[in-house]
Amino acid sequence: MLALFRPHIMTCRVAAPRGVMRWFMELRGFTGFASCWGTIYLMESLTGEERTMVLRHEIAHMEQMAREGRLIMMTRYSYQLVRVGYRQNPYEKAARLREFVWHYAERALLAGRTTLIFPNVEEYS
Ligand SMILES: [Zn+2]
């Protein structure tokens, strides 16, 4: 139970992809990528709300790595990628849901709402 409240510390930075990373992201059609070495890569073509949404998604992956440990998370992520594919990967589903929840919550609070209804964010375990 105490483990739920243990803070997870991970250094993180944002950078534009270069070299092999740019080639890989273009090959896969990714506009963002959270690396296990702590860098979130964002394509320079992303602007405004789209950039914010992709950043939220990649931060969710950083949170997954911080919570489970980078090696364990990447191993489980890769296993699920092979097993069910990218879209159905539980880590991707959780990150998309987090991205949506933050977007919804920010919009609602900025619009003056004081009550938020959060969906049950089922994390991969
Ligand atoms: Zn993702």
Name the average pLDDT for the chain.
Answer: 89
Q: Domain for residue 123, yes or no? A: no
Q: Would residue 33 count as lying in a domain?
A: yes
- Which structural domain range is residue 106 located in? 2-110
b/e per residue 92-104 (b: at least 16 CB within 10 A): bbbbebbbebbee
User: What is the 16 CA–ligand 1 centroid distance (Å)?
Assistant: 17
Model pLDDT for residues 52-66, shown as the tens digit of each residue: 999 999 999 999 999
Q: 56: CA distance to ligand 1 center in Å?
A: 10
Ligand 1 centroid to Cα of residue 54, in Å, is 9
Residue 1 pLDDT > 70: no
Instruction: Judge if pTM exceeds 0.75.
Output: yes
Compute the distance between CA of residue 37 and CA of residue 62 in angstroms, rounded to an integer: 10
Q: How far is the CA of 91 from the centre of ligand 1 (A)?
A: 7
Name the strand (E) or helix (H) holding 33. Answer: strand 32-34
Asked if the structure places residue 97 within a domain, the reply is yes
Residue 115 lies in a domain: no
In the DSSP assignment, the letter for residue 39 is E
